[in-house]
Amino acid sequence: MDENMNGPAPNPSRKPRPPRRVMQAAAVVVLSAVIGSASTLVLAWAMVPTLFVSRSGQSSVGLQSTSYLGSSGHSGGTVNKTVNISMNNAVVQVAKKVTPSVVGVLNYQYQPNGNGINTLQEYGVGSGIVFSSDGYIVTNNHVVAGAAKVVVALYGGRRVTARVVGTDPYTDLAVLKIPPSDIGRQNVAQFGNSDTLQAGDPVVAIGNPGGLTFQDTVTSGVISATSRVMPVISAQSGQQIGQEAVLQTDAAINPGNSGGPLCNAVGQVIGIDSSKIVATGFTGMGFAIPINEVKVIASQIIATGHATHPAIGIEAESLSNFAAGSGPNVPVSNGVYVVAVTSAAARAAGLQKGDVIVSLNGKLVTGLSSLQMQLWNSYKPGDVVTLGVYRGHTKQSITLKLTTLPPYHPASASGSSGTP
């Protein structure tokens, strides 16, 4: 789904063929947490490696005083005035309410220590939010991906080893657990309702930009948009594995904010910060996973150790990906082209390679992201659906039972098609 984190370089032997996928809104180059290149327009993870401010331990960041000196207007010159500012405002109250439930999430991995020996070292730092007195914490999958050990830095500085309950690469979410004895009643966040958000609603982001050096940083802004379709990138492979409808905000989200809360004006968590666009000339374009989706995925992970997503059982790509004249001979320009049929149910229903899906239960399907979002937002495995399909110039209806999306395996991902 913020700047790059420095990690081990990708395996140079892996050279997947370039995908033909085209972003809907703009030509966006996607940068995962494990890739260190730059681009004109980059969607990058909000997780960073350990921050070293300077060799002396002193911050090199310039700080501007917030004191105010105003002119009195008298001929005698300038007179210092004291300006009383009330701090009892909404942002302050949200920060006081939510900050005790925000944690740092430290990803430890085995890395060379300079003597040819791999030792367990701090690899990256993200954020998380305590949402249950039982000790459950939600964060991003890319924050804990590849970790041999996960440590949680609690409010106040104490560190506790956490267990990874489960992860879901398709939504970039993960659930951790620490002993309930480490959670006080005042340290549990309250989730809100992301379905009621509107563009312009005020929000507050809290997290660890730059790592624990700047722990519990508070920024504020507004909801810029309530449903931006953005790619989901595998932290392991760097490849796009799906799309997700996310909240857009101009509240500052920086490296280390990943997994931290985006809150409404009354201190309810309405999103989990995950990514931002970083490029020259761009600012204030951060993204958060809506909390209503987080609730569903987190509850599934707690119950079974993983999340479950419905699927048709095909490999497919958007029809719009084909260059003019190179696609299938169908009378439409939008839809989903079936690259392969992978489930027995879909094959038994009559779905074939080369078919173009244009509707799901009567609702228009414009491309791969449209199909995936309709499936995930409205259906579950086992549901029976009817697809509108073009086979050449003949349109037909195919009814089938939805299957379960298989677990994501980075080694088998080609990056050229999706698996709805």
Positions marked catalytic: 142, 172, 258
Per the structure block, which two tokens stand in for 338?
């079936």
What amino acid is encoded at 338 in this protein? V
Please name the residues in contact with 85: beta carbons below 8 A apart, sequence gap of 6 or more. Answer: none
- List the alpha helices (DSSP H) in 305-361: 344-349
Tell me how far apart the alpha carbons of residues 165 and 187 are, in angstroms, rounded to a whole number: 20
Label residue 352 exposed, middle or buried (CB < 10 Å: 0-12, 13-18, 19+): middle
In DSSP notation, 202-213 reads EEEEEE-TTSGG
DSSP symbols for 48-80 = B------TTS-----------------TT----
Number of neighbouring beta carbons within 10 Å of residue 209? 26
Residue 208 · residue 256 · CB < 8 Å: yes
CA distance 2 to 287: 10
- Rounded to whole angstroms, the Cα distance separating 348 from 345 reads 5
